[in-house]
Copies of this chain bind each other. A is one copy, B any other.
Amino acid sequence: MGEQLTTTLAALADPTRRAILDRLATGPASVKELAAPFQISLPAISRHLKVLERAGLIARGREAQWRPCRLEAGPLEEVAGWVEKHRRFWS
């Protein structure tokens, strides 16, 4: 129970992974494009993408040369739903 939510929150608990999702919110992007703003290696970006993909937060295209990543919002909706339960405590 709540396993998906736990996986999602763990995936989001990293500033680079959140920045990748913010970038994908502007449209699909290749791994190279996603890596460009960061001072980290392509393999490190690939590891972050795998975490996001396992959490269902991104999906990858099947085109052989250019496998664009895109945002998948379902898990984010679950996070919003959980947090919203407690909205009355801050608004």
Contacts and interface: CB of A to CB of B under 8 A. Distances in A.
Interface of A: 1-3, 5-7, 9-10, 12-15, 18, 21-22, 25, 71, 73-74, 76-77, 79-80, 82-87, 89-91
| Number of copies of this chain that the complex holds | 2
Contact of A6 (B2, B14, B76): B14
Main secondary structure of the interface of A (DSSP, over half): helix
Contact of A71 (B13, B73, B89): B89
B83 A79 contact: yes
A12 B9 contact: yes
A13 B15 contact: no
A7 to B, nearest CB: 8
20 contacts: A1-B15, A2-B15, A5-B15, A6-B14, A9-B12, A10-B13, A13-B13, A18-B82, A21-B86, A25-B85, A25-B86, A73-B86, A76-B83, A76-B86, A76-B90, A77-B91, A80-B80, A80-B83, A80-B84, A80-B87
